[in-house]
Amino acid sequence: MDDARAGPEASPCDERVLVLAPVGRDTSLLCQVLFRCRLATMACRHMEELACALREGAGAVLLTEEALAPAAMPDLLSALSAQPSWSDLPLVLLADAKPRSRSDQQTITALREAGNLTVLDRPVGELALVTAVQAALRARRRQYEIRELVAREQAARKAAEAAQQAAEDAVRIKDEFLATVSHELRNPLNAILLWTRLLGSGQVDALKMQQGLQALERSARAQSQLVEDLLDISRIMEGRLRLSLRDVDLAQVVGATVESVRPAAEAKGIGLEAADDAQVGLLRVDPDRIQQVLWNLLRNAVKFTPPGGRVSIGARRGGGEVHIAVADTGSGIRRELLPRVFERFWQADMTAQRRQGGLGLGLAISRQLVELHGGTLTVDSPGEGLGSVFTVALPAGAAVDGAGVLAAAGPRATTSPAAAGRPLQELRVLLVEDDPDTRDVMAYTLRAQGAEVTAVPSTQAALDVLSAAAGGRPDVLVSDLGMPDMDGYELLRRLRAMEGERGEPALPAALVTAYARPDDRARALSAGFAAHLAKPVEPEQLAAAIEQLAGRSG
């Protein structure tokens, strides 16, 4: 009858009557009487056995006064005192109707104080005995009902407390996350604002001008990466993230990722090493996503490793898997925090995170991407200040033999504008963009690459240009999506209708938009756009798309 049995689950023991009558065959006779009335019984040989049975459960106890020897009472009283709060076990005592000694009176008083006692004078009739025991069992069943109510109330209270805690945690996490996003947006925005004011003052030399331009680019890329991380988490949480698998030379992916991180490592004086295992070969993966994972791991390693430290990455094949390990000599992770490292929006050390920057999303995204490949991402660290090792394990069964497979250029890789030349020479481009700053810089970028650009602020202005076509029809249309008068889809629909009336061929069209989800791309292509480019767009990426639409690409 301990507290562990205070729950609502019924037990076969809950209805039984424990019988202890140590004189002669009294126990057996009493059990027979109760059995004839279909009452479950258990015959006990001594008080110790009865007390032990009480811990398993009982509906009532039937005793004779001969069982109440002084040496036996502590066992019974101890069992009764251990009852949970809902329990008041009925005791039925058969005693002789005669004057009792002081000792017997004290015993009965102790039982009455410890339990729910009913005393029947002997000799007792069978009907009176059975009626008393049945009444005791009915009282016990009402106690069980109370037990169930108490258990349900406790469960409801715990559920309410858990829900309240979860709600408070959600609000706290949301507030912390919004504060983090605000922090990560304000930092690059501050740099952008200060540098634009400084560069606009005309008081900077050529070297400082170059530094400012580099800072502006870094700040813009930081904001772009923040948006990409948020979009990735959204896609993952909604189950909409899809992989584009192909056969990839893993060594090339690792090498490209290492080179993209090397400038940051060198700036901190951190040694960056890559171990090339020629036996790894080709894997069927999404190269962009795997490079994103490795970039996240290497970036974190560099971020949390002090100057003079080391970061290494190596791949090996074994046990049907390919293992890629990123190790560092950085700040490490306390053992008790390791299980939470990959949680979304959770950060082990808010102070350190804020000092280093970041949303705390990279590792959560990386684990999800690896798991989408059928692999695992794990972390180990001896402790704080002792470095960390992150290990990506990918199935090797999909690996193929062959050559000529190109690793994807990383999402952050860029091409030097100087190397691009003027690839759009003499191409006529109609640019439709309602934001004046974006329109001006895109037009300037395209003209710098040789294009003849007509830039207009609305879809109606674009239709006017296309209707007149006084200077000849453009070669390519580049349009934004969300504009005040009509969106890009309506522009394309009207353009196609105009071309049908005139018998003109379809003008190649590219959509450049901040709506960057896979669903957005699919909708753009199904609407008739030949290319979908997500903002912010690289100048080289925009030029390459226009070249391809104009039929100039190889």
User: How does pLDDT run across 124-136, given as a tens digit for each residue?
Assistant: 999 999 999 999 9
In angstroms, the CA 547 to CA 539 distance is 12
What are the structural domains, with CATH classification, of the chain? 3-155 (3.40.50.2300), 246-395 (3.30.565.10), 420-549 (3.40.50.2300)
Least confident of 8-22, 183-197, 297-311, 348-362: 348-362
Which whole number is the average pLDDT over 498-511?
93
Mean pLDDT of 496-503: 92
Asked if residue 378 lies in contact with residue 221, where contact means CB atoms within 8 angstroms, the answer is: no
**Dihedral (Cα; 402, 407, 408, 413), 10-degree rounding:** -170
Predicted TM-score (pTM) of the model is 0.51
Burial class (CB in 10 A: 0-12, 13-18, 19+), 71: exposed
pLDDT band per the 50, 70, 90 thresholds, residue 347? low
Round the CA-based radius of gyration of the chain to a whole number and report it. Answer: 40
What pLDDT is stored for residue 544 in this prediction?
A: 92
Is pLDDT larger for residue 89 or for residue 320?
89
**The token pair that represents 7 in the structure block:** 């729950």
Cα dihedral 370→373→375→377 (10° resolution): 0
Angle between helices 102-114 and 73-81 (to 10 degrees): 20
Mean pLDDT value across the chain: 85
Pick from 429, 391, 412: nearest CA to 507: 429
pLDDT of 139 higher than 90: yes
pLDDT in tens, 402-415: 332 323 333 333 44
